[in-house]
Amino acid sequence: MQYEHDTYDRNLKRGNAAGQQPQNREGSHLRGAIYLRLSKDDDGRKESSSIGSQRRLLLRYAQEKGFPIVREYSDDGWSGTTFDRPAFQEMIRDIKRGEINLVMTKDLSRLGRDYILSGQYTELFFPSMNVRFIAVNDGYDSAVSDMDLIPFRNIINEMYARDISRKIRSSLRTRMEDGSYIGNFAPYGYIKQPGPPVQLIPDPETASIVKEIFSMGAEGRTPAEIADSLNQRKIPSPAVYRCLKHPWLCENNYTVKRIWTANSVLKMLHNPVYLGRMIQGKSRKLSFKSRLTVANPAELWVDAGRTHEPLVSEAVFEACKEEIQKRRCRR
């Protein structure tokens, strides 16, 4: 992204009356970029870790050294254990195009917390592209610093990320055992009531739709027939409804399930959340470095029991299960 921060614009204007670039005491060949990152795992309440604080620190350092800054890249809310971050990847593309040859970060952990991938960038990619890399708070400058300690710093950063991930998993499990809902979005038919603990309460707009779905299922209508009925009446599917309630979600990118399907209805008919039961922990991240999730065995699920108001009775829920089982037996 083109760097447009007001502070930098003012610094440019103060360069001299003719509007020249600030004098670069270490060479006018540099085209600098600052890279900012703040993870959800980091304590955003600490000013030293905030995006704004990182920006101020790096701009001040660049001004003191006379480095011209032409780009800013910011990944707010992205973990350092992945390098598939939008702004970071944009920076790599700009480096390959020769648009920048100086990268500055607050410290090495802002670049990343995977010591293998971090090392590939600091020891292989940046040098091969003639890019000068500076981690201000670590006192590292590839133009003058020794590389020997960098791998050890990267390992420490990864150990920190691993420890944070373990603490988060432990905290989430405790919250699940306490009956707190930890999902980003409530199941269709419910909305989240802030806690702690975070509770589910019936959604005035969709709870009646859920009850109708279970009623049709108990009467013997198939999931496909139920889905067709809902689509004919133009009732938004759960995914579309979620986007309507959360405008920052892009419907096209977030989901392709714009209509009700037999599978979405079937999942709903099997979900004990509509009985008022809270069962969570059915999946987990493959590792703290990966976004991939894998299913947990049933013995690792967290069943907090009855935690919220049910939308259907046990009798209706069991009737739906019996109808589904009958159709399976007839196949």
Mean pLDDT of 151-159: 64
Q: Which of 111-120, 243-252, 303-312 shows the highest mean pLDDT?
A: 303-312
Domains and CATH numbers, the chain: 6-161 (3.40.50.1390), 178-330 (3.90.1750.20)
Q: Which residues of 66-88 are buried (b: 16+ CB within 10 A; e: fewer)?
A: ebbbbbbbbbeebbbbbbebebb
Check residue 27 and give its pLDDT: 46
Does the pLDDT value for residue 20 go beyond 70? no
In this prediction, residues 53-62 reach a mean pLDDT of 93
The mean pLDDT value for 108-130 works out to: 88
Give the closest residue to 162 by CA, choosing from 290, 46, 72.
290
On the question of pLDDT at 225 being above 70, the answer is: yes
Question: What DSSP character marks residue 25?
Answer: T
Per-residue pLDDT at 222 exceeds 50: yes
